[in-house]
Amino acid sequence: MAVAVAFILGNRPPIGLLVVAIAAAILSSPFRIPLPVLGNVSIAFVFVFAALILLGAPAAVLTAAVAGASASLFRKGPRPPAYRVLFNMADLAVSAALAAGVFRVAGGTPGLLDPGAEWLAVVLGAGAFFLANSLLVAGVVSLTDDVPFLRNWRTNFLWTGPAYVAGAFLGAGLIMGIQHFGLLALGLSVPLLYVLYFSLKLYAERVREERRHGKQVADLYLSIIEALALAIDA
C-alpha cells in the first residue's frame, strides 16, 4: 500500500536510476548485522536513503520494500514464513515513506544534493527511518514475546540509531559522488560500505558480549544470594 500511495502521490522516478538503486539494494541486502532479539541492520539502507535523496519518496519506498524481501529470502538456513517476509517489506516501506516526508518537511528536495543546506534534512530523515523501523519491530517483538515495550526498545534497538545516521550520510556521499563521477561512484563506494559493515558487525558483537557478561554477573549474584539463603536456613 505504501508503494502504491507513493507512486500515485509522488513524481515517478527515472526507470534507469530506479533499477540501479533496486539492484544495489538487492546485492547489498545479504550483508546484515543480526540484532540481539529479532531482525537485523542491513547496509542496503544506504541505497534506500540514496534513492530517497536523489529520486524521491516513490523510489525510496519501492527500493525499501524490495530490499526487505531480498534480505528475507536471500539468507542462509530455512526461509522465513510468508507473513514475516510481508511484514519486513511493509515495515521498511512505511519507514522509507515517513523518512521521505520528514526529509521534505525539513527542507530537503529530491534531486541533486546541496549538503550545506540539506544536511539537517538528511539527519532528520535518517532519524525518522530509525524510529519508525525500530519501533515497529520492537512492538511486534513485545507483543509476541510478552516483554515490556520501552525496555525492549531501549535494550535491543536504541543502540542501532548511529548506524542509520552513518548509513544516511554514506548515502548522501554516494549521491554527491554520482553528481561528480556518475554511476562510477557506486564502485568507489564499495570500500566505504565494507568499512561500515564490519564496523557495525564488531559493534554488534561487542554489545552482545556485554549483554552476555551482564547475564553471567547476574547469574553469579543470584547464586550467591541463594547460597546465603541456604546458609541462613541451615
Burial of 128 (0-12, 13-18, 19+ CB in 10 A): buried
How many C-alpha atoms does 81 have within 13 Å on its Cβ side?
2
First to last CA, the chain: 66
Domains of the chain: 2-233 (1.10.1760)
- Contact (CB, 8 A) for 99 and 55: no
State the pLDDT at residue 68.
86
pLDDT at 44: 82
- For residue range 83-122, what is the model confidence (pLDDT) as tens digits? 888 988 899 999 999 999 999 999 999 888 888 889 999 9
How does pLDDT run across 176-228, given as a tens digit for each residue? 887 777 766 666 666 666 666 566 666 556 656 655 644 544 443 344 334 44
Closest C-alpha among 58, 56, 60 to residue 21: 60
DSSP 93-125: HHHHHHHHHHHHHTT--SSS--HHHHHHHHHHH
Tell me the per-residue pLDDT of 145-172, one tens digit each, with 9 for 90 and over: 788 888 888 877 887 787 788 888 888 8
Confidence at residue 218, expressed as pLDDT on a 0 to 100 scale: 42
The string of pLDDT tens digits covering residues 18-58 is 888 888 888 877 766 555 544 556 778 888 999 999 998 88
